Amino acid sequence: MSLANKNILLGVSGGIAAYKTPDLVRKLTALGANVRVVLTGSATEFVSPLSLQAVSGNPVHQHLLDPSAEAAMGHIELAKWADALLIAPATANIMAKLAHGLADDLLTTLYLATEANVFIAPAMNQQMWKATATQVNLGILTQHGTLFIGPASGEQACGDVGSGRMVEPVDIATTLSQALSSSSEQILAGKHILITAGPTREPLDPVRYISNHSSGKMGFAIADMAIKAGAKVTLIAGPVALPTPEGCKRIDVSTADEMLAACEQASSDSDIFIATAAVADYKAVQVAENKIKKIGDELTLTFVKNPDILATIAMRTDRPFCVGFAAESQDVESYARGKLKNKKLDMIAANDITAPGLGFNSENNALHVIWEDGDKHLPATTKSELAKALLVLIANQYTNTHSVQ
């Protein structure tokens, strides 16, 4: 599922389920959507504009007669911007207004002004949902071409049990994605993508090595999603215990030198290089032929820098579009921007390895993706969903870069 390049205008009306809308915004953005939020006056009693602004990354719109927005006909611009208007939760009151063409606030005005697809996720007491007036309004809105997501059945805030609950955010996002996404849309069709994943192992003797905690899950997720987006994928993997994504050419390596050699060969006809591998910075100057024995209280070993695989590929004249990863424990954005500039990258995806439940060996992650003239925060979600959103950004930036050239 994907909402790549889709502009979703989320209208929030005054139902108690409005408290779930920050999570809904996260689910939508994780699928690649650009989200802007419109709040009715009563919705602010249940959810704060600031929280929705924080998760969407955009100002929250509340007033029809906003002097700063009206100077540019703000409500008309929003109506034209949207690929879909999603109203969640939709109260009985808002459904009645929409059914009869009332436009006394920003949300109801946008409904009349937009040509976008409209989706409604109702949320109300089970008896209010069954009421004749509500069912009549449901019929009118359906005739107008409005699509309904739910409602769901179950226990309600008032203690009643029945139909009227707002569908859960993850299911709303999935339904919207299915409705808006074209199964034939393959944003990376015809592109050859080279991906590195996992750690490297630098031997010290026949028994020991130095390495890191990278599991390779992020790189493998990107490889899987890139194939589904139509790309030809070469995956160069360090020592990991992960199945090969179907349709992917996999090359297994151990050391940084082996990974570099494989990358140099595979990158010659690659369009995009995504370097997710956690390559060891140093290797032993000399690998002992036999197991190093435990003699004395201290052991001194001498190390030398490993080659910088990403920088080596990025500084070639015939290089592919290069995307780096920066796993940092402090000053994450600062270090990432430094790597973007110093290694002459096109994009870099930074993550904080100290965040609980994210990063190395986790099923989830969050990224701050940065390029020369822009950036975007991809909120915490599964690595598969994150891979989808990241590939949308990469495809867009790749297209923009090559159209300029």
Per-residue pLDDT tens digits for 116-141: 889 999 999 989 999 999 999 998 99
**What CA–CA distances, in Å, run from 367 to 53, 179, 323?**
18, 27, 13
pLDDT in tens, 240-276: 999 999 889 999 999 999 999 999 999 989 999 999 9
Same-domain status, 92 and 200? no
Distance from the Cα of residue 353 to its chain's centroid:
17
Q: Tell me, what amino acid is at 253?
A: V
Q: What is the pLDDT of residue 1?
A: 57
Q: What value does the CA radius of gyration of the chain take, rounded to a whole number of Å?
A: 25
Q: What is the pLDDT of residue 70?
A: 47
Residue at 2 is within a domain: no
Residue at 186 is within a domain: no
Q: What is the mean pLDDT of residues 311-316?
A: 94
Same-domain status, 87 and 211? no
Torsion of CA 126, 127, 128, 130, to 10 degrees: 90
**Of 180, 206, 240, which residue constitutes the final position of a domain?**
180
Token couple for 229:
């987006």
Residue at 312 is within a domain: yes
Same-domain status, 161 and 299? no
Residue at 235 is within a domain: yes
Q: What is the pLDDT of residue 296?
A: 84
Same-domain status, 111 and 171? yes
CATH of the domain at 148: 3.40.50.1950
Q: Has residue 187 got a pLDDT over 90?
A: no
Same-domain status, 244 and 140? no
Q: What is the mean pLDDT of residues 88-96?
A: 95
**Of 180, 205, 222, which residue constitutes the final position of a domain?**
180
- Number of domains the chain contains: 2
Which residue from 245, 186, 219, 226 is spatially nearest to 324, judged by alpha carbons?
219
Q: What is the pLDDT of residue 65?
A: 66
Same-domain status, 121 and 241? no
How sure is the predictor about 74, in pLDDT bands with cuts at 50, 70 and 90? low
Same-domain status, 107 and 217? no
CATH of the domain at 242: 3.40.50.10300
Q: What is the mean pLDDT of residues 26-48?
A: 93
**What's the domain range around 262?**
192-404
Q: Has residue 363 got a pLDDT over 80?
A: no
Q: Has residue 73 got a pLDDT over 70?
A: no
Q: What is the mean pLDDT of residues 71-99?
A: 86
Residue at 185 is within a domain: no
Q: Has residue 52 got a pLDDT over 80?
A: yes
Same-domain status, 175 and 203? no
pTM of the model: 0.58
d(CA 109, CA 103): 5
Q: What is the pLDDT of residue 182?
A: 47
Quickly tell me which residue has 């004395």 as its tokens.
296
How sure is the predictor about 144, in pLDDT bands with cuts at 50, 70 and 90? confident
Same-domain status, 269 and 356? yes
Residue at 187 is within a domain: no
**What CA–CA distances, in Å, run from 28 to 20, 129, 182?**
13, 26, 16
CA triplet 31, 383, 58: central angle to 5 degrees? 40
**Of 158, 180, 202, which residue constitutes the final position of a domain?**
180
How sure is the predictor about 109, in pLDDT bands with cuts at 50, 70 and 90? very high
Q: Has residue 356 got a pLDDT over 80?
A: no
Same-domain status, 333 and 399? yes
Residue at 1 is within a domain: no
Same-domain status, 90 and 216? no
d(CA 179, CA 357): 32
- Catalytic residue selected from 158, 248, 263, 322: 158
Q: Is 158 a catalytic residue?
A: yes
Residue at 352 is within a domain: yes
Mean pLDDT, the chain, whole residue set:
88
Same-domain status, 206 and 174? no
d(CA 396, CA 386): 16
Q: Find out whether the peptide bond into 243 is cis, omega within 30 degrees of 0.
A: no
How sure is the predictor about 366, in pLDDT bands with cuts at 50, 70 and 90? confident
